[in-house]
Chains A and B, each alone.
Chain A
Amino acid sequence: MTTRMRRFGLYALLALVGVTMVGPLYWLFTSSLKQSGDIYTFPPVWWPGDLRWGNYAEAWRAAPFGQFYLNSLITTGSGALLEVANAVLTAYAFVFLRFPAKRVLFAALLGALMVPGHVTLLANYLTVADLGWINTYQGIVIPGAASAFGAFLLRQHMLTIPIEIIEAARADGAGHLRILFRVVLPLSRPMLITVAIVSLVSKWNDFIWPLIVTNTETMRTLPVGLLMLKDADGYVNWGSVMAATVFVVLPVLAVFFVAQRQIVAGLTQGAVKG
């Protein structure tokens, strides 16, 4: 009896946790489909009586969301590509190539992890301005194209590749580039995907840097574009504002449900096995 009650209690708790975490997202999605009559009523309407897809069209027109989408795709894609390339090359060099003072360089690489983004904001803005990159794609992308954590994760992974495999490839006359692309990268695939997805997600969500470094509507990325729906007296048309929010959230949610394992692995790396 008591164990049964205990189990019931646990399930109730589990449901409560699930509802609390998903509730706001449910509210976001359903509100994005509500008529304004359903939005401005109390008590709240849990399911829109009449789905209003027009909110999406309205949001799309309220600001140049097509342009925002394009900007986000370009900066996220190229930024993640560069970051992963840097991670791969750096990791390979540190594991498979000789160089004096490797330890010092490695420490310098990890040291970059200790510099928080907000501290570099002002100085990086000035550097980018000096380069003439304000309001450009390279201005958004390049400062975030370095990889310290990704390079570290990949290095840790590459260290586990048996040396015999590399030596066999070398005996067959393979050069370093060949070994990198034909042997090391295929063997590092799970970690490579992890690094890539985490990079994509964080760049897609990046807010403060694109906010600072762009100054015209046509260069805004999606998260920054959301701010443009704000009137002088706050946000007005909640239906279309929620629809616009869905534009931003949906791709990441989709990636998350497909690649959950990879994302969790990337974000929690180093936590438990220390």
Chain B
Amino acid sequence: MIVDIRVLRRDFPTLAQIVNGHPLVYLDNAATTQKPQAVLDALNHYYRDTNANVHRASHALSGQATRAFELAREKVARFIHAPSANEIIWTRGTTEAINLVAFSLGRHFLQQGDEMLVSTSEHHANIVPWQQVAATTGAILKVIPLTDNAELDMAAAERLITPRTKLLAVGHVSNALGQVNPVVKLIAMAKAVGAVTLIDGAQAVGHFPVDVQRLGCDFYAFSGHKMFAPTGIGVLYGKTEWLEKMPPWQTGGEMIKTVNFEHTRFAAPPFKFEAGTPNIAGAIALGAAVDYLQGLDRAVLQRHEHGLLTQLLNGLAAMDDIRVIGRPQAGSVSFTMDEVHPQDLATLLDMQGIAVRTGHHCAMPLMQALKLKNGTVRASFSFYNTSDDVAALLAGINKARELL
């Protein structure tokens, strides 16, 4: 099957813009992706035609909204192959999803001397919540180091995973380096010692199909806005056995069964974890994003993205003063230019209509480990990027070098 990316791009109105006098080359997809018309229509349709609160009122609009909202939950469950829609909890995003597990499970089931394991390449959102758990429970946070190639040191991981390990939390794909972590192996190692496993899938779900049952993780977290849905909506997948045991972390509204002044009985999962009015429009639009993705041949898109990655890596390899960090495999490529501050390069690329990210990419410990004081320039792809975008970036780097 041949996919014409130029035709596919027409689904994304934002991409057709002129920025600083140039056609937009959007290479900041790891920060957020653009939205297809189908997602914009879903948002508009909800607010225009069916706006009502969910699960409460007995009137027609509320019924429609509730059905759409719960249908979206089922779509997301199928999207990541969760056994049940009741294992899909709506959150604001990946960060809130991880915080939910940290506050509910971490603070109640971990104790002094227990060990939690993360990796050096984690985003701050998968470090700080566990540090907070450590501070309140006395559990210890350990870190899988990197090899010389900036990959997770699996030999060290093997030594670090012991019967004291109670939780493993790692990213599926590094947001800073675009490396795919060996999560299947790590999950198996953690399960062998009875540890709970959480995978931060923020940088994975937009790039390749994810199957939580095949992974075997207990929790999987991701954000809508990095997979073509709106901001402010995300997902925590959790195994029922854990969701039933875990106490609520925020209280009030939707999550109760009965309340009197002496005692409150909580609703069953997922509602137990969804206090207050949820982001109804966001959830429905995330469902639309899932439909949109499922309507495409994702294997073809994955090959297309891989082609872009190869084209960029070859182009950068031909530049003597450019150093690519690590071994990028999905989504993002981080690099530095000798003697040039990443921000200078990004500013001059921006003037040419090319959107990239610079700095530490919310992974300061990783940048420290790699001794990258000023961080990197990161170009991150989505399937709607083209070979012309990569060529524009390479030409833009050459132009910036002339000016600097």
Q: Do A and B bind each other?
A: no
Q: Which chain A residues have a beta carbon within 8 Å of chain B's beta carbons?
A: none
